[in-house]
Amino acid sequence: MSSEPHRNFFLLAMDGVVYKYDLVTKELLFQFKTPCNTAIILYEADDKLVAASNREIRLWDFYDHKEEAPTLLTAMETSFNVEHVFTNDTNVPEQANYVLITSGSSFQLFTKRLELRF
C-alpha cells in the first residue's frame, strides 16, 4: 500500500506480474512483469520499487503523479538466494536510501541505483 494517505493505491504481485489498483475506484491502473517471488517494497515517497526474486533484484522508478508502469532503472544478480529485503526509506535529501538483502548470515547492502556498498 502507498505510504502517502492521499494516493490511495496498492500493489499486488502474483506469478511475476505486479498490478497497481486504485483503492477508491477499485480499478486496475496498470500492470507490468518482473520476477518478484521474494519481495516487493515501495520506498522514497513511493517513487521507487524494489522487486526481488531468488537470485535477482530489480529497481523500478515510477513517473511522478502519472498512472503508468514504472521504468526499470537497474537489475542485478545476487551472489546468494535472497530471503529478506529491507529499505531504510528516508525522506531527508542529504541521507541516502539503502536496500539490504539477506540470506542466513550473508548480506549485501546497496545504495542509489543498486550500487554495491559492502
Q: pLDDT for 64-105, tens place per residue?
A: 666 788 889 999 888 899 999 998 866 666 667 788 899 999
Give 41's pLDDT tier (boundaries 50, 70, 90).
Answer: confident
% pLDDT > 90, the chain: 18
Is the pLDDT at 8 greater than 70? The verdict is: yes
Average pLDDT value for residue range 38-61 = 87
Is the pLDDT at 116 greater than 90? The verdict is: no
C-alpha cell, 108: 549485501
Domains and CATH numbers, the chain: 5-116 (2.130.10.10)
Q: DSSP per residue over the chain, as a string?
A: --SSGGG-EEEEEETTEEEEEETTT--EEEEEE---SSEEEEETTTTEEEEE-SSEEEEEEPPTT--SPPEEEEEEE-SS---EEEE-----TTSPPEEEEEETTEEEEEETTTEE--
